[in-house]
Every structure is written in C-alpha cells, then in structure tokens.
Amino acid sequence: MEHAGFTIWFTGLSGAGKSTIARLVEKELRQRGMKVEVLDGDVVRTHLSKGLGFSKEDRDTNIRRIGWVCEVLSRNGVVAIGAAISPYRAIRDEIRARIPNFIEVYVQAPIDVLAERDVKGLYKKALAGEIANFTGVSDPYEPPLNPEVVCYSDGRETPEESAAKVVAKLEEMGLVPLPSAVPG
C-alpha cells in the first residue's frame, strides 16, 4: 500500500515512555500496511551519533542527525518515528520547518514520577548532583508549546492509551487509513 511519508516526533524527559509508545504506534501502523522506521535516541547514539557527548552542541548535532534521517525517510514514503529527549525547542522547531506533516508528541511525566520508576537510578544520582548535565535536572528541557499530541505517562494513561491517542490524531489528520479501510 502506497502512502505519504510523515514524521512523528516523540519528545520528553528520560524514562517518560517515548520509546514504548513509539513502538506501539509502529506496530499499529505496520498492521495497517504502512512502511515505518523508528529512530530511537539511545540506538541512534550508539550508531549514527557515536562519539558525541552531552554538551548543548553535541545534543543539537544528535537531534539534527535524527531529524535529517526522518526527513529523508518521510520524503520517500516512510513513516519516520523519532523518539529522543530532544530537549531544545529551537532544534525541534528547525526540524519541523523542514518536514511536511511533522507531528510532535510530548510524552509528559514529572521528575518525581520518573525518579521513582527509574531502574538505573540516574535521576536519584542527578538530583544528588552526581551526574552533570542531566536533562530536566541540571540541564534544561524545553517542553513543546503546541504539540499535536500530549501523552501523560504519569499513570493517567497506559502506554496503549497514549499510542491510541497518537494514532487517532494521525487518522484525524488524514495521514493514516482508518482500520476499516485497511485491506486484509
């Protein structure tokens, strides 16, 4: 099935659930016959952005690289899903300006909830001053001003409910076929 490409950009603090929700959206879109690729921030750092640190400049470079790949994929009829903290609004806006049909999804959860469920203990270390430049604690995170979708991963919504919310928005925008329109 041919379809127009577009980009879904998940942003939010570390551990908010971006990758989990992105994978659920990916699964649903694949079931509808769409070509989908997920660019997970952690995976991209291992391959495409290996060697970059966590300075503002390196973070911007990392996000611009993910954005460029999303742009290329979208231009070629693929649904590109970016799931990365992407803390700086200006870089997200820069990417949005380059990609037609850019859908920003803000996965929102407060730091106390994230620290409580953080199995690696990174938030506790960051809050204790043991980790420098930790986004949302000792380094800024600029939430989106007008995201197309806000998912609440603090317990108000399950990941499945959040994913359904994203897919419903894509249907509303005419980017995704309704389930009844999917052959099969």
Catalytic residue numbers read 86
Closest CA to 34 of 83, 67, 73: 73
Hey, what are 111's tokens? 């730091």
Helix pair 159-172, 18-31: axis angle to 10 deg: 50
Q: Is the dihedral of CA 20, 21, 27, 30 positive or negative?
A: negative
Cβ within 8 Å of residue 93, ≥6 positions away: none
The residues with which 36 forms a beta bridge, in sequence order, are 79
